[in-house]
Amino acid sequence: MSVPLLDLHAADAECEQEILTAVAEVIRRREFILGREVHALEAWFADYCAARHAVGVSSGTAALYLSLLAAGVKPGDRVVTSPFTFTATGEVILRVGAVPVFVDVDAQTRTMDPQAVAAAFSSYPRITAVMPVHLYGMPCDMDPITAVARRYNARVIEDAAQAHGARYRDRRVGSLGDCACFSFYPTKNLGGYGDGGMVVCSDDAIAQEIAQLRNHGRVQHYLHEKIGYNERLDNLQAAVLLVKSSRLDAWNERRRRIAAWYCDALQGVGDLQLPETPVWAEPVYHLFVVRSQRRDPLMAHLKQRGIGCAVQYAVPLHRQPAYRERCIAAGPLGVVERLCAEVLSLPMHPAMTESHVGLVADAVRSFFA
């Protein structure tokens, strides 16, 4: 019996009919652009994150890009982030003409090391923003990161694309910096039936700027205050997401239960390092990622036994061809390099059962036996 890395059919089978009805209703109304579903989703998500505003956009990447623009990041500025992330995080920094300053991550959380952030600020002038990435659903250690950013008058833009619902010291990600960016890509913890994204923030000016930029710089019908973009959240996607929104907490709870089963079953197996949760974090396990020095043969062994697995991420951004000549690799990036060589994502989705976890664990144990 095989266990897929993720199962988009099983994950939302419980609400598929409800989604089809909601989509049919939008089609019946022919209300496709910035319709009532977009506004309802924005209201729900702002409230969910305990923020004042949420602005629906066309993807997580658009959320990040428009956030950098709205935060006032200019060509030639520098932006601190982690190189251990999906390319979208770094891509948008280059796209606004700024220079990514990549810093090392903490080995326990696999997210930006606050001390490395502080060191980057003292080494490089003109850092105007920091982009912490809540990787795999684990919140960054935000207090020391925002403290150093404030000291240097830099903006904090959370990349929360993998962390809908995660909490840091009892606060939801999305309410921890100047603004936060979420993705509704189909595989994310809250995923649509296509692309989608959201910027969440409590700063009225940033929210207004993003709402304008996503819609051609428009202030009212055929009045354009600035040059903007077409980066709106699709109303059909909003209808899908609105149905799913009421399940997000239950699905995240399932993910935590699955993670706990994994940790019970895999404790002390081979040289495996399991994810660890700091006392201040409530993660949402977008991915369940273990480490092994024998990662590649382990992955081959699992795949041969029908266990889906993947490496997120094998090449850090500072070593990607698109970035190499255009970024600053700040300080030693040894933890990132080791993670790239050792991380392995095991199957994780809310519909997994304890027996699925057992099958994966048996296959892992048989490798180390």
Ligand X SMILES: *Cc1c(COP(=O)(O)O)cnc(C)c1O
Q: Which of 19, 46, 61, 93 is close enough to bind ligand X by CB under 6 A?
A: 61
Q: Of these, 162, 212, 215, 252, which contacts ligand X (CB under 6 A)?
A: 162
Of the candidates 26, 133, 176, 317, which one interacts with ligand X according to CB under 6 A?
133
Identify which of residues 197 and 283 has a Cβ nearer to ligand X in the complex: 197
- Residue 343 or 361: the one with the smaller Cβ distance to ligand X is 343
- For ligand X, give the closer residue by CB, 197 or 316: 197
Contact with ligand X (CB under 6 A): which of 23, 129, 149, 161?
161
CB of 170 to ligand X, least distance (A): 23
User: Is residue 159 involved in binding ligand X (CB under 6 A)?
Assistant: yes
Instruction: By CB under 6 A, name the one of 90, 177, 191, 197 that touches ligand X.
Output: 197
Q: How far apart are CA 302 and CA 325, in angstroms?
A: 37
Nearer of residues 192 and 261 to ligand X, judged by Cβ: 192
Residues touching ligand X, count (CB under 6 A): 15
Closest CB to ligand X among residues 183, 292 = 183
Strands 197-201 and 167-168: what pairing?
unpaired
Asked whether position 195 contacts ligand X by CB under 6 A, the answer is yes
Nearer to ligand X, 197 or 275 (CB): 197
Supply the minimum distance, in Å, between the C-beta of residue 105 and ligand X: 13
Instruction: Work out how close the CB of 64 gets to ligand X at its nearest, in angstroms, rounded to a whole number.
Output: 6
HEC string of the chain? CCECCCCHHHHCHHHHHHHHHHHHHHHHHCCCECCHHHHHHHHHHHHHCCCCEEEEECCHHHHHHHHHHHCCCCCCCEEEECCCCCHHHHHHHHHCCCEEEECCECCCCCCECHHHHHHHHHHCCCEEEEECECHHHCCCCHHHHHHHHHHCCCEEEEECCCCCCCEECCEECCCCCCEEEEECCCCCCCCCCCCCEEEEECCHHHHHHHHHHCECCEEECCEECCCCCECECEHHHHHHHHHHHCCHHHHHHHHHHHHHHHHHHHCCCCCCECCCCCCCEECCCCCEEEECCCHHHHHHHHHHCCECCECCCCCCHHHCCCCCCCCEECCCCHHHHHHHHHEEEECCCCCCCHHHHHHHHHHHHHHHC
Among 45, 86, 136, 313, binds ligand X (CB under 6 A): 86
Output the CA–CA distances (angstroms, integers) from residue 36 to 181, 193, 236, in the order listed: 21, 18, 10
Asked whether position 89 contacts ligand X by CB under 6 A, the answer is: yes
Q: How far is the CB of 297 from ligand X (least distance, A)?
A: 27
- Region from 59-67, 104-112, 144-152, 349-357 binding ligand X, contact rule CB under 6 A: 59-67
Instruction: Name the segment binding ligand X (CB under 6 A); options: 58-66, 227-235, 297-305, 336-344.
Output: 58-66
Closest residue to ligand X: CB criterion: 60
Q: Does 60 bind ligand X (CB under 6 A)?
A: yes
Using alpha carbons, select from 160, 178, 156 the residue that is nearest to residue 60.
160
Residue (199 or 266) nearer to ligand X, CB: 199
Tokens of 121: 């600020």
Nearer to ligand X, 6 or 363 (CB): 6
- With CB under 6 A as the contact rule, the residue among 81, 82, 85, 175 that binds ligand X is 85
Measured CA to CA in angstroms, residue 359 lies from 283, 352, 366 at distances of 24, 11, 11
Give the nearer residue to ligand X in terms of CB position, either 83 or 228. Answer: 83
Applying CB under 6 A, the residues found at the interface with ligand X are 59-61, 85-86, 88-89, 133, 159, 161-162, 183, 185, 195, 197
